[in-house]
Amino acid sequence: MSANRVVVVGSINMDLVARTPRMPAPGETILGTTFATTPGGKGANQAIAAARAGADVAFVGAVGDDTFALDLRQALVDAEVDAERLREVSGPSGVAVITVDDDGQNSIVVLPGANSRVLDLTDEELRPVADADVLLCQLEIPVETVTAAARHGSAHDTVVMLNPSPARPLPDELIASVDVLVVNETEEQQLGGDTLARVAHVVTTLGADGARYRGPQGDRVQVGSPDVDAVDTTGAGDAFTGALAFAWDRGPRDALTFACAAGALATTRPGASAASPTRAEIEALLSENT
């Protein structure tokens, strides 16, 4: 079977990752243990995750003209993501400042940089959306851009999948164009039942407990997550979402099972996009748990 075609319109950041024994309290200074810079951003993370899971992926977004830009572009290329539509704009690239403690929990501050300037998508940037099986978006770029991309995808019968993170009220026009919402439990609560009810398919991630699905007829599916030794949860949600985009056409249960395995594997490695597993790794873990 040929790979599904996924287009990601979203953010790309350089992650500045500090590991600490525990999270500092407000106003407290503590000593960390390691520091690393790794390519990230929810859009790029999910694009790389989808590509490693087996999809043909194109990315639409922006980097700055700083020293991070070349490494960010190269990270997409190395993952075999089509980066031809990655703009370069003046100013800084996006940056995320991430603290990870010894329990694998994290806190994140995102500075959008060039991501805030992904505006007025061109015909060339929108062209692959019309030909894709799935359009995958998040909310680390302007919501107006996400809405325009989603509207274009919906008009061309592309499945529009939205990970509404960071959570915010969604414009009516965006909700009307979305086929699949992918949320965690906090985002589910923040969006509220009225918004969720207006989207045909809702997938809620449950961390180590797996994920659940609610379909257009009220049909529900819940699957568990394989047991793994987690060291860093930073990239788990993005690995899940990228793998879900690739596997969406398999049906809710199989797609969620595949995505949960991807998310679980991502927690066993440090980093965000670097932690995303390959299709072979995902299938091997699933075989071990059958």
Q: Which of 93, 103, 44 is nearest to 274 (CA)?
A: 44
159-162: strand order across its sheet? 82-88, 56-63, 5-9, 134-137, 159-162, 180-184, 201-205, 211-214, 220-223
The angle at the Cα of 82, spanning 132 to 274, to the nearest 5 degrees, equals 110
131: annotated active-site residue:
no
d(C-alpha 252, C-alpha 46), whole Å: 19
Q: Is the Cβ–Cβ distance between 75 and 44 less than 8 Å?
A: yes
Q: Is the Cβ–Cβ distance between 238 and 273 less than 8 Å?
A: yes
Half-sphere exposure of 58 (CA within 13 A, CB side): 18
Buried b (16+ CB within 10 A) or exposed e, 240-277: bbbbbbbbbeeebeebbbbbbbbbbbbbbbbbbbbbbb
User: Which of these is catalytic: 82, 227, 238, 254?
Assistant: 238
State the catalytic residues: 238
